[in-house]
Amino acid sequence: MLGLALLLSACGKGNEKGNEDGKKGADDGSLKVVTSFSILDNMVKEIGKEHLSVHNLVPIGTDPHEYEPLPEDIKKATDADLLFYNGLNLEGGDSGWFHKLTDSVKQSDEHIYQVMEGVEPKYLKGENGHESEINPHAFIDPNVGIKMAENIRDALMKADSDHKGDYDKNANDFIAKLKDIEKEYAEKFAEIPDEKRILITSERAFQYLADSYDIKEGYIWEIDTEENGSPEQIKSLVKFIKDNPVPALFVESNVDTRPMETVSKETGIDIYKDYIFSDEIGKKGKPGDTYIKYLEWNIDKLYNGMK
Ligand SMILES: [Zn+2]
C-alpha cells in the first residue's frame, strides 16, 4: 500500500503545484480536504463552501467502523492539506483503518483533525460488562453537532487564514441552524411523558442523545463491529421490552432489519414505519441528505413514534 501511495503522490498534480510555490492546494487554489465519512463531508462543505475541494472516504451505504481505502482514497489522502476524522473510535481507533491510511501516506499530524476534540466520550458496556470501548456515535446528538461545527471552523481558519472571515461567517450561519434544531429536540422530547421516553434501536448508537434528553435506551447489539442480532442479544432486548412500556421500535437506515423484525414478532410492538439515521446521512436527492436534514428527520420520526 505504501509503494502505491508514494507512486500516486509523485504523479499527483496538486503536488507539482505544491513544489512550485511552496504552498499546497488544488490547481484552482482551493484547499484539498479529505473527510472520513458522510456526516463530516457535509459539515465541512457547509463551513468551507467554495474554498475547499473535498474528497470523502467511506461512501454512504458502507460501514464507517471498518473500511478498506481504495487507490483513489490513498491518492487524495497523500495530497490532502487537511484530513478530518470523527475519532472516538468510529474509524476503528488508533489501530483502525483511518490511522493506518494516514500513516501509510506519511501525512503529518498537524494536517489531521479529530472533529470530536473536546467531546466527553461515553463508554459501551462491553461483553463482560466492563465499560471499556468508546461509543463513537456522538454526532447523533445536536449538542455535539454544534461542537463539531466549531472544531471544523477552527481547523479551517487555522489552515487557510486567507479565508478566515468566510469560514467564520459560514460556521455562524450553520451553528445558528443547529441551535434552532437543538431547541426543537429539547421541546419535543420534553413533550413526551417520562415513562414513554424509551428509545429502542438495533445498534446502541443513541447513547449521547439519550443522555442529553433523559431517554432510556434499549438495543439489540452495542456496536456494529460485534455480532449483530444473535439469539442472546434478541432475548435480552425482548426481556427489556417486557419490563418497560416501550412505545415503538426503530430501525436505523444502515442496518439489517431482520433482527428487529424478530423482536417485533416476539413482543407484539410495531416497528415505526420510517427508518431513522445513525452512521450516515441520506444519499444525494433522498431524505436526510445533509446533516441538518438528518437531524430534522430523526427528531420528527422519534417524536411521532414515541408520543
Ligand atoms: Zn455505528
CATH of domain 2-179: 3.40.50.1980
C-alpha grid cell, residue 135: 461509543
The residues facing 90 across adjacent strands are none
Instruction: Give the pLDDT of residue 32.
Output: 98
Task: Specify whether the CB–CB gap between 269 and 245 falls below 8 A.
Answer: no
Assigned CATH topology for domain 192-306: Rossmann fold (3.40.50)
Q: How far is the CA of 134 from the centre of ligand 1 (A)?
A: 12
Amino acid letter, 27: D
Q: How far is the CA of 298 from the centre of ligand 1 (A)?
A: 15
Q: Does this chain's domain 2-179 share its CATH topology with 192-306?
A: yes
Residue ranges covered by each domain of the chain: 2-179, 192-306
Q: How close is the Cα of 155 to the center of ligand 1, in Å?
A: 25
Distance 92 CA to ligand 1 centre (A): 11
Write down the pLDDT at residue 225: 82
Q: Give me ligand 1 centre to Cα 13, in Å.
A: 35
Q: Which residues pair with 84 in a beta bridge?
A: 35, 113
Q: Which residues contact 35 (CB under 8 A, 6 or more apart)?
A: 41, 44, 54, 55, 56, 57, 83, 84, 85
- In this prediction, residue 156 carries a pLDDT of 98
Closest CA to 115 of 66, 155, 166: 155
Nearest to 76 by CA among 121, 13, 34, 26: 34
Q: Is the dihedral of CA 153, 156, 157, 163 positive or negative?
A: negative
pLDDT the model gives residue 4 = 46
- pLDDT the model gives residue 24: 61
pLDDT of residue 14: 39
Distance in Å, CA 246 to ligand 1 centroid: 22
Q: What is the pLDDT along the chain (307 residues), one digit of tens a residue?
A: 444 444 444 443 333 333 334 456 777 889 999 999 999 999 999 999 999 999 999 999 999 999 999 999 999 999 999 999 999 999 998 899 999 999 999 999 999 999 999 999 999 987 666 777 999 999 999 999 999 999 999 999 999 999 999 999 999 999 999 999 999 999 999 999 999 999 999 999 999 999 999 999 999 999 988 889 999 999 999 999 999 999 999 999 999 999 999 999 999 999 999 999 999 999 999 999 999 999 999 999 999 999 9
Distance from residue 224's CA to the centre of ligand 1 (Å)? 5
